[in-house]
Every structure is written in structure tokens, then in C-alpha cells.
Amino acid sequence: MNAIDKFSHLLSLTREPFPASTKNYLIGSQPDVRVPVRDIALTNGETVSVYDTSGPYTDPKVGIDVRQGLPSVRGSWIDARGDSEYYAGRLRVALDDGRKGDADDIRLDQLRAEAAALQRQPRRAKSGANVTQMHYAKRGIITPEMEYVAIRENGRREWMQQYMQDTAREQRLAGNPMGANIPRIITPEFVRDEVARGRAIIPANINHPEVEPMAIGRNFLVKINANIGNSAVTSSIEEEVEKLVWAIRWGADNVMDLSTGKNIHTTRDWIVRNSPVPIGTVPIYQALEKVGGIAEDLTWEIFRDTLVEQAEQGVDYFTIHAGVRLAYIHLTAQRRTGIVSRGGSIMAKWCMAHHRESFLYEHFEDICDIMKQYDVSFSLGDGLRPGCASDANDEAQFAELHTLGELTQIAWKHDVQTMIEGPGHVPMHMIQSNMTEQLKHCNEAPFYTLGPLTIDIAPGYDHIASAIGAAMIGWFGTAMLCYVTPKEHLGLPDRDDVKQGIIAYKIAAHAADVAKGHPGSRSRDDALSQARFDFRWEDQFNLGLDPDTAREFHDETLPKDSAKVAHFCSMCGPKFCSMKITQEVREFAAKGMQEKAGEFREGGGELYIPIQPVA
């Protein structure tokens, strides 16, 4: 099998719906607001409906050709607003793909030819217009994107009702929102208000009409981001797109394309055109490629050109390390691990070499001018984040955070949507102050953290060391968690590492939602626990984050199909089952003790119920 065939095959597998699952759509106030949900059919007739990040890939009714890109979701909404226009766009040059007109260009020509059908004419705001969701929100306009987000956050609430009825239990389990203010039902107006005051963003470049809108904010479900990057030698569109589809299948709400090196422009076309989730990038990486990797040769002009290039392609948010100011660099000198952010070190190098203030900081308003023409959101990078626990919460880190707060105000003045990146490496007891400092200085702009890792001695298991910190900071108010894979600090994640990282972060995000008391978020837990108690094994697998692995683990010990309906499991075996006794406890409580005690003894007092075939 050649590489293209291999990844075409892999992609077809990755497109398979989850077991017992059907992709359905909740329809909004207009027929083209079609919000995806995954409905899981249980063996007891119940249907559990869950948030679905996987896009049209898991919808067998949608034909997808990665060489054509996904169908548009938002195109007509953008058209209807009438405040943007198509234009010729920037001329694509060889250097965009890291080439200099040498012999490699034959390969580049091939790659570009592969992506030919993915080329789109870019659009931007009409002169003087501002096309950001924040701009509309501040003017009181509820966009279809906002309505879409509201429907998506609520999900199919009907099925949850049965799990939300017991008032005594609900009171006992009421979350601790830690300052969040999540309404019982998310309305489009609530979404608008959150976006208007900067407490949430909807990353949605007008050149990425394929995106299924989603929100990042402390009063919404906690989201996760997965990073992907191009291969050393890119083999095909199929390979790059398969990575993306794999990540969103397991639940990535956002994907950052951190590609470096050759062919990154063309690869980005492939990814954006085939992505139903927002795509983020770190434009300084590409800018650095354009100057041959020499940080001090970077200029504002080259950087600006790269922003426009990527904005025209449809990138939804840019990581911009504008808080790495000249004056802060010496604060890292006594650190154990110095500057560990790649973008941060590029900018530190530039500042040192020129002994000048960062051009990102100096040109921040110019950057805002670009962002608002396309509705690219800021992800203000934490270039001075700690690289180990021993550097956590130090002067350099917080000096930068305070600057990011100032920059947030400037971005908001331009109605540019903004989130703030956070650490990194932070011991558990120091996590909360990261959140309080961020809330205070950045006025509740969404926080987007990498972990944090709580300890440094777990190379090979940093997805776990960081899931602990991620869950906690998510509870405290972080809106999006950037995943960490088991390969962190050691190497490049492969396909399984990506999955392991995503599952660990889905756990962290969900644990945070439950702790915050996001309405209905516990319902899936309750449905699964009920399935567990009822010995509905298939339902238990299918309601989990990874049905394949749950089923596989179960079958290692009890592989027979009959065991899937058995009223026991391999932990206790058929002879004695602790769960079954509760059935008796219930009768016992109902009938009164004495009566039941006699009856129980007469009946043989045995708890095991023989396997019954499913009717």
C-alpha cells in the first residue's frame, strides 16, 4: 500500500461512527443553523446525547473528499452581514512554503497541485468595517454563530431531565462554580453578552466558513486543544487531514497547527479547508522560516505579511507573544530552566540582539487592525511561562501576565476577541493564584493553559502529571486546556500519543465541568453509572470517552458475548456481587426489616441471579 492509499484507508476508518451512535443535528431559528450532537442508543431504549467535535466526518450521510474540502457552514451568514468582500489577496510565493526556488520546487509544485481545489479567494472586512463576533456582540447583534454556540452548549437537554430531577441529590451535588456564573439554559443572548464583555470568544475567521462555531469562556463547557504538526516529509493531504480527523474524533475542540519547516503554507490549506474546528497557529514560527531561522533578522514587515497570509487562509486564532518585553528578559536569568516557550525565546533573542523593545509589543495596534478585518482571535502567548515547578509563579511570569492584561484592553478597544495563554509547570498549591492573577489582570478574558504539570519527575507520563493541574485550573476558571501527550519533553507524539493526550484532557475538562456545576454535565456520568449498576455492559462501554478501549479491556477477562449481559463482572465473579445486594436493600427498606429478613432466608438468601438472555 502506498502512502496515499494507507492514509486514505486510515481516514476511512477514522470516519466510522462511534458504536451505537448516530450523528444528528439540532436546528436553530433558521434552517442552516444545524448543530451536531452524537446520540448514543442504549440497550434500555434510552438515548444519551453528547457534545460532538468530530464534524461531518462521523456522519455517513456526508460525502467528503479531502481534496475539495468540507462544505461551508457559515458562508451564507457571512454573506448576509454584507460587511466583507472578496479581494485578490496576497500573492502566494515559494518562500511561504519555506522554498527558495531550488530543485525542491518540483515537489512543491506537486504539493500545490494537490491542494489546487482547496484554494479560495479570500475575503476581508470592507474598508472601515470590523467583522469580529465581539464587534457584533457589543452592538447588540446576535449572530447565527452565537445562536449555534448556545444550542451546542445546551445540547439535547431533554434526556438529561431524568438525571436532574432528584432535588435533594442535586443540592448535595451542586457544583462550586468558583466565581463562574453558568445559567441553567444558555441563551443566544447570554452568548452575545459574554462575547461582548470579552469573557468568551468564538474563534471564527470569515475565511474559515467550514468551522462549526464553538465558544471558549469560563461560563461555558471547558474546552481542550490538541497540537498537530506536519511530518518531516509530508506525504499527502490524506496524511495531514487524518491527523486532524483523529484528534477531533476523540474530542479536540480546537487544533493548533504547529508545523515548521517546508511546505507549511500548503499543508495549512489542507488542514483549514478540512477542519470543522477552529485552527490556531503561532505565526512567528513561519516568519522565522522566512528569514532562514535567524531570529534577529525578523522584521515587522515580514511578520505582518505572515499574519495576512495566514488570515487569508482562514486561521482562527494566532498565538502572539507580545508580552515578552525587553525589560522582562533579565528576570529569567536566575531561573532553573530559563525561557522554554519557543515563541518567547525567539522574541527574547530578537530583543537582545537589537536591544530594542519587541516589535510585537510596539506594533500591537497594527496587529489588531489586521485581526479585526478577518475576525482572527488573539491567543496572547505566555512566552515567559515556567519550564519547571521551580520557576513557577515568578516575577518574569507575572510581569508578562500583567502586560497581557494591558494588551487585552487594547485588543478589546478594537473589538478583537482575545484569550490569554497560561502555564506550564505549576505545583498544585500554586495553581489557584495563577487563575486569580489572570482573572484580575486580564478582566476575565478566557484563560488557556498548557496543563499545568504538577511535578517534573514523570517523563513518559506527563499527560497524567498535567491532567491533575489541568482539572484543577479548569475548575478554577480556565476556559480551554491545551493537551500534553505522554511524549512531552521526550519526542514527537504519534497517533496513539495524541489519543492518550486527548482522553486525559477530556477527563480533566469534564472533571472541571462537574466541579463547577455546569448544568447537566453530570448526566452522562449518571447514565453510565446506572448502566454499570444495571450490568448493561455495552451501554457502559458506549457511554465512555473511549468505547473501544473499555470493550477491549473487558473482553480480555470475559470475552464471551454472553458476559456482556451477565449480572456480574470479573472483579467479584458470579458467586457474589456487591451491586446486586442493593436490589435487596431496596426491597428491604420498602418492606420493613423483619418481614424481609425471614423471606430472605426462606428464599435461600442467594444473591446471584442467573444470566438471562436479553429479550
**Rounded distance between C-alpha atoms, residue 184 and residue 61, angstroms:** 33
Using the minimum distance from each CB to a second copy, give the nearer residue, 3 or 607.
Answer: 607
From candidates 123, 524, 536, 564, binder to a second copy by CB under 8 A: 524
Q: With respect to a second copy, which residue has the nearer C-beta, 134 or 431?
A: 431
Binders of a second copy in range 590-609 (CB under 8 A)? 590, 593-594, 596-597, 600-601, 605-607
Q: How far is the CB of 610 from a second copy (least distance, A)?
A: 15
Q: Is 197 within 8 Å of 560 (Cβ atoms)?
A: no
Secondary structure (DSSP) of 430-498: GHHHHHHHHHHHTTTPPEEEE--BS-SS-TT-HHHHHHHHHHHHHHHT-SEEE---TTTTTS---HHHH
Which 176-215 positions form the footprint of a second copy (CB under 8 A)?
176
Q: Which residue, 39 or 83, is less far from a second copy as judged by CB?
A: 39
Stretch that binds a second copy, among 26-34, 194-202, 214-222, 326-334 (CB under 8 A): 326-334
Q: From the list 49, 58, 225, 393, which residue makes contact with a second copy (rule: CB under 8 A)?
A: 393
Q: Which stretch binds a second copy (CB under 8 A): 113-121, 235-243, 273-281, 514-522?
A: 514-522
Nearer to a second copy, 362 or 606 (CB): 606
Q: CA neighbours within 13 Å on the CB side: how many for 327?
A: 6
Within residues 441-480, the interface with a second copy by CB under 8 A covers: 454-461, 463-465, 467-468, 471-472, 475
- Angle (nearest 5°) at CA 546 between 544 and 550: 80
Radius of gyration of the chain measured on its C-alpha atoms: 26
φ and ψ at 123, to 5 degrees?
-125, 155
Site for a second copy contains 494 (CB under 8 A): yes
Taking CB under 8 A as the rule, does residue 67 contact a second copy? Answer: no
Strand partners, 25: 36
Examine residue 354 and tell whether it contacts a second copy (CB under 8 A): yes
CA pair distance 475, 183, nearest whole angstrom: 16
Minimum CB separation of residue 370 from a second copy in Å reads 25
The site string for a second copy over 559-588 (x = CB under 8 A, - otherwise) reads: ----------xxxxx-xx-xx-xxxxxx-x
Closest CA to 502 of 488, 485, 489: 485
- Report the 3 state secondary structure along 323-373: CCCHHHHHHHCCCCCCCCCHHHHHHHHHHHHHCCCCHHHHCHHHHHHHHHH
Beta bridge partners of 450: 482
- Residues within window 128-157 making contact with a second copy, judged by CB under 8 A: none
Nearer to a second copy, 32 or 534 (CB): 534
Site string for a second copy, 284-323 (x = CB under 8 A): ----x----xxxx---------------------------
Q: What is the crossing angle of helices 495-516 and 237-249, to 10°?
A: 30
- Please give the annotated binding residues for Zn(2+), written as ranges: 425, 489
Q: Which DSSP letter does residue 74 get? A: S
By CB under 8 A, the count of residues binding a second copy is 129
**Binding status of residue 86 toward a second copy by CB under 8 A:** no
In 3-state terms, what secondary structure has residue 289?
Answer: helix
DSSP label of 118: G
> H helices of 115-216, where?
133-138, 144-154, 157-160, 167-173, 188-196
Single out the residue of 508, 526, 493 nearest to residue 247, CA to CA. Answer: 493
**363-392 residues near a second copy, rule: CB under 8 A:** 387-390, 392
Site residues (CB under 8 A) for a second copy, limited to 154-173? 169, 172-173
Residue from 112, 504, 520, 539 touching a second copy (CB under 8 A): that is 504
Closest distance to a second copy from the beta carbon of 12 (Å): 24
Binding-site members are 227, 256, 285, 321, 341-343, 382-385, 421, 425, 448, 489, 569, 572, 577
Where is the binding site for substrate, in residues? 227, 256, 285, 321, 341-343, 382-385, 421, 448
Shortest distance (Å) from residue 512 CB to a second copy:
7
Q: Which of 85, 362, 525, 561 binds a second copy (CB under 8 A)?
A: 525
Query: β-strands 447-450, 279-281: how paired?
Result: unpaired
Instruction: Answer for the pair 255, 227: CB distance below 8 angstroms, yes or no.
Output: yes
